[in-house]
A and B are shown apart, each in its own frame.
Chain A
Amino acid sequence: DGGITQSPKYLFRKEGQNVTLSCEQNLNHDAMYWYRQDPGQGLRLIYYSQIVNDFQKGDIAEGYSVSREKKESFPLTVTSAQKNPTAFYLCASSTTDTRSYEQYFGPGTRLTVT
């Protein structure tokens, strides 16, 4: 089955630790995205990448880092500099075909930092 996977589903960390969230897709999509979702709010873009070895900051990139060494993978690191890291993190992918901007989402990772 083609799709986008995120692991783990739940993640717990102590304050001051960096943590890396995994995102993998086998849809052969060029573009990948990371969003953060807080309770009762919409999705806010953290980082996105439209091609391997290139990525751009989104609206709330501070305290986060990414890499895009392979087309299939776009891991997100939540660093200790992120002031409020507890949230639901969503990864998405899409083609770069301008006929459709549909993004396909993974199941999400719920990160809790105490």
Chain B
Amino acid sequence: GESVGLHLPTLSVQEGDNSIINCAYSNSASDYFIWYKQESGKGPQFIIDIRSNMDKRQGQRVTVLLNKTVKHLSLQIAATQPGDSAVYFCAENFNNQGGKLIFGQGTELSVKP
């Protein structure tokens, strides 16, 4: 039968600390990865993306790291703020899927003031 009431992985951090959110992706042929932030009851918002020919990419207060050897992606948020509280999704694209993105389950980030 269906699973009911799945619980997202949760990360709880203190305001001002750095956060690291991890994601294991599924396909070694994936060549594009993206992180989204989703606040409760809203649509996902783009945070940062990275192509497979890079290991690291930085944005404003965010860094994405890609480890293709172990198919692992991470999102680092510096000086985490209460407004960063949300669910964070990683997604991957591999070439034979056109523009389709495959989304992970998500991680809920909770920032304590």
Contacts and interface: CB of A to CB of B under 8 A. Distances in A.
A107 interface: yes
B5 A39 contact: yes
A101 B34 contact: yes
Interface string A14-42: 00000000000000000101010001111
A108 B100 contact: no
A87 interface: no
Contacts of A40: 5-8
B41 interface: yes
Contact of B43 (A42, A58, A96, A108): A108
A51 to B, nearest CB: 11
A90 B8 CA distance: 19
A65 interface: no
Contacts of A42: 89, 103-106
Nearest to B44: A105
Contact of A39 (B6, B34, B49): B6
Interface of B: 2, 5-8, 32, 34, 36, 41-46, 49, 89, 93, 98-101, 103-106
Interface of A: 31, 33, 35, 39-45, 48, 50, 58, 84, 90, 92, 94, 96, 100-108, 110
Closest 3 CB pairs of A and B: A105-B43, A40-B6, A42-B103
19 contacts: A31-B98, A33-B100, A35-B103, A40-B7, A41-B106, A48-B99, A50-B98, A50-B99, A58-B100, A90-B43, A94-B99, A101-B34, A101-B101, A105-B45, A107-B42, A107-B43, A108-B41, A108-B42, A110-B41
